[in-house]
């Protein structure tokens, strides 16, 4: 099974910008991996922020965006808010089989 | 209102079996692509498997750690998703979530159940 890698932790200042990345042990991440990004807060179920690399749900704040960057999937948060402090997970698809990354703990400080 | 309600979790011995159910309401279940995701206590998310709608073939895909032991199925007449778990191991201990994430026309959704805890221990 492929291994999906994420930064274990990142810190961003309120109002600042941060980029979380998602890499694959099999090589470059492409749109064919249909990257997803999830946000999870303590005691809650995850919720999807981004699907298919860069598509957003209606509830996804405009300050979040998804892209492919340097062979990885990326989630960029522009204008961080205190409520964005959470765990973030990416999910890649390998011919229909999903693999989550280990998650990034984002601190807004 | 979309609702997903998991049930069937509990304590089971290693090597045992359990069947989880996910009762759906508030949407056209037969058109739904559904998935199971689990989370061990204090750990990250782990994708377990997914099942497509019957109009898209009804096929399933499972993660390597559970392949051959876990089986996803659905009963569209009962609006219910199932996860049959056999040969359970201590590392299968987790909260199991079902989720509705897209439909047969590729419209994406994001609805999750509250989760059901499975504990595998002797």
**Residue A6 backbone dihedrals phi, psi, to 5 degrees:** -135, 160
Q: Which of B39, B47, B57 is the best mutation test for A, with the most CBs of A within 10 A?
A: B47
pLDDT in tens, B38-51: 999 999 999 999 99
Tell me whether residues A45 and B62 touch, CB distance under 8 A: no
Would you tell me how many other CB atoms lie within 10 Å of the CB of residue A71?
A: 12
Give B104: exposed, middle or buried? Use CB within 10 Å, 0-12, 13-18, 19+: middle
Mean pLDDT of all residues in B28-36:
97
Tell me whether residues B115 and A45 touch, CB distance under 8 A: yes
Q: Which of B122, B34, B38, B111 is CA-nearest to residue B80?
A: B34
Tell me whether residues A45 and B35 touch, CB distance under 8 A: no
Would you tell me how many other CB atoms lie within 10 Å of the CB of residue B57?
A: 9
Tell me whether residues B108 and A48 touch, CB distance under 8 A: yes
Strand-pair partners of A12 = A108
Tens-level pLDDT at each residue, chain A (109 residues)? 899 999 999 999 999 999 999 999 999 999 999 999 999 999 999 999 999 999 999 999 999 999 999 999 999 999 999 999 999 999 999 999 999 999 999 999 9
Exposed e or buried b per residue across A55-70, where buried means at least 16 C-beta atoms within 10 angstroms of its C-beta: ebeeebeeebbbebee
**What is the distance between the alpha carbons of residues A95 and B105, in angstroms, rounded to a whole number?**
19
Q: Which of A2, A45, A54, A59 is the best mutation test for B, with the most CBs of B within 10 A?
A: A45
């Amino acid at each position: 099974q492929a291994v999906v890698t994420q930064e274990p932790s990142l810190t961003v200042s309120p109002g600042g910008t941060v980029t979380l990345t998602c890499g694959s042990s099999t090589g470059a991440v492409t749109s064919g991996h249909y990257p997803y990004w999830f946000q999870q807060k303590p005691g809650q179920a995850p919720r999807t922020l981004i699907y298919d690399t860069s598509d957003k749900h209606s509830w996804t704040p405009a300050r979040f965006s998804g892209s492919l960057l340097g062979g990885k999937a990326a989630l960029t948060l522009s204008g961080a808010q205190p409520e964005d402090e959470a765990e973030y997970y990416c999910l890649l698809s390998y011919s229909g089989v999903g693999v989550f990354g280990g998650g990034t703990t984002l601190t807004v400080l | 209102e979309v609702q997903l309600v998991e049930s069937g979790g509990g304590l089971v011995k290693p090597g045992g079996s359990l069947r989880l159910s996910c009762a759906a309401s508030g949407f056209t279940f037969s058109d739904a692509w559904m998935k199971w995701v689990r989370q061990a206590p204090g750990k990250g998310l782990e994708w377990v498997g997914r099942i497509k709608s019957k109009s898209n073939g009804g096929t399933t895909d499972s993660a390597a750690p559970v392949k051959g032991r876990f089986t996803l199925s659905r009963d569209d007449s009962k609006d219910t998703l199932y996860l049959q778990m056999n040969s359970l191991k201590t590392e299968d201990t987790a909260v199991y979530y079902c989720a509705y994430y897209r439909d047969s026309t590729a419209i994406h959704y994001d609805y999750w159940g509250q989760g059901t805890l499975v504990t595998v221990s002797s």
